[in-house]
């Protein structure tokens, strides 16, 4: 027989047999602690992977942004290289008589060439200017021909046909050169 508790503050102190049985059923219905730990570890692993993926995506986006800043203008730069070549050709083609007859024109072409080279330099474009006698470097030079020239060693530059250009650390255009194939 269950007696009523005259003191309501001690209501949970006097549990009935039915209450105890109900708690036992609830305790048995609780998931296994090992399963809870495994689920927690799974969620922690997923969280850490998602955190790493987010950090990798941030780093990749930052690298792509830096590359776009540095190399985004490479297409425009490549299209300006023939302008540089043509200004050089114009100055080379001007003989002494043209220089004497039109010194203002020659000075204008020289100033235009210097301004173009200044703009190139400001944007990280530098000229590759090999000289006769330098060693051929396939990373910066393009061999247009090979010829056995007496007095030279194999692999040395014997003629420079066109300058090359680098954009920061990337090759825009290799310098076009002739290379000695002299076996001696």
Question: Is residue 8 a part of any domain in this protein?
Answer: no
**Predicted confidence (pLDDT) at residue 31 exceeds the cutoff of 80:** no
Residues 95 and 134 in one domain: no
Helix (H, G, I), strand (E, B) or coil at 53: helix
Percent pLDDT > 90 in the chain is 64
- Tell me: do 141 and 170 sit in the same domain: yes
146 and 177, same structural domain?
yes
Mean pLDDT of 161-184: 91
Domain co-membership, 110 together with 159 = no
| Residue 26 sits in the same domain as residue 50 | yes
Q: How many domains does the chain have?
A: 3
Q: Please state the rounded mean pLDDT for residues 18-47.
A: 77
Q: Residue 83 falls within a domain, yes or no?
A: yes
Q: How far is CA 14 from CA 4, 11, 136, 145, in A?
A: 9, 6, 98, 105
Contact residues for 132 (Cβ-Cβ < 8 A; gap 6+): 157, 158, 159, 160
pLDDT above 70 coverage of the chain, percent: 83
Question: Both 44 and 91 in a single domain?
Answer: no
d(C-alpha 39, C-alpha 144), whole Å: 67
Q: Which of 82, 107, 123 is the last residue of a domain?
A: 123
Task: Please answer whether residues 160 and 132 qualify as being in contact, where contact means their C-beta atoms are separated by less than 8 angstroms.
Answer: yes
Query: What spatial distance separates the first Cα and last Cα of the chain, rounded to whole Å?
Result: 120
What's the average model confidence in pLDDT over 2-15?
53
Backbone torsions φ then ψ of 3, nearest 5 degrees: -100, 145
Q: Are residues 41 and 25 in the same domain?
A: yes
| Pair (77, 66) in one structural domain | no
Look at residue 10 and tell me if it is in a domain. no
Burial 74-100 (b: 16+ CB within 10 A, else e): beebeebbeebeebeebeeebeeeeee
Question: Is residue 12 predicted with pLDDT exceeding 90?
Answer: no
93 within domain boundaries: yes
What CATH number corresponds to the domain at position 180?
A: 2.30.22.10
103 and 144 share one domain: no
pLDDT at residue 175, rounded to an integer: 96
Domain span holding position 184:
124-184
Q: How confident is the model at residue 83 (pLDDT cuts 50, 70, 90)?
A: very high
pLDDT at 127: 95
Q: Is residue 128 located within the same domain as residue 179?
A: yes
DSSP for residue 152? -
Residue 5 maps to a domain: no
Residues 60 and 115 in one domain: no
Look at residue 171 and tell me if it is in a domain.
Answer: yes
Query: 83 with 113, same domain?
Result: yes
């Amino acid at each position: 027989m269950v007696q009523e508790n005259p003191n309501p503050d001690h209501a949970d102190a006097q549990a009935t047999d039915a209450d105890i049985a109900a708690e036992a059923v609830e305790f048995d219905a609780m998931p296994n602690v090992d399963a809870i730990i495994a689920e927690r570890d799974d969620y922690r692993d997923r969280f850490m992977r998602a955190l790493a993926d987010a950090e990798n995506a941030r780093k990749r986006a930052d690298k792509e942004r830096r590359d776009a800043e540095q190399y985004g203008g490479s297409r425009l730069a490549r299209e300006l290289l023939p302008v540089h070549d043509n200004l050089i050709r114009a100055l080379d083609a001007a003989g002494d008589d043209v220089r004497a007859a039109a010194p203002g024109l020659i000075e204008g072409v020289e100033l235009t060439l210097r301004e173009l080279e200044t703009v190139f330099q400001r944007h990280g474009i530098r000229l590759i200017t090999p000289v006769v006698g330098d060693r051929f470097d396939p990373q910066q030079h393009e061999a247009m021909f090979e010829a056995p020239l007496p007095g030279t060693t194999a692999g040395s530059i014997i003629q420079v046909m066109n300058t090359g250009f680098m954009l920061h650390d990337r090759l825009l255009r290799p310098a076009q050169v002739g290379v000695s194939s002299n076996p001696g």
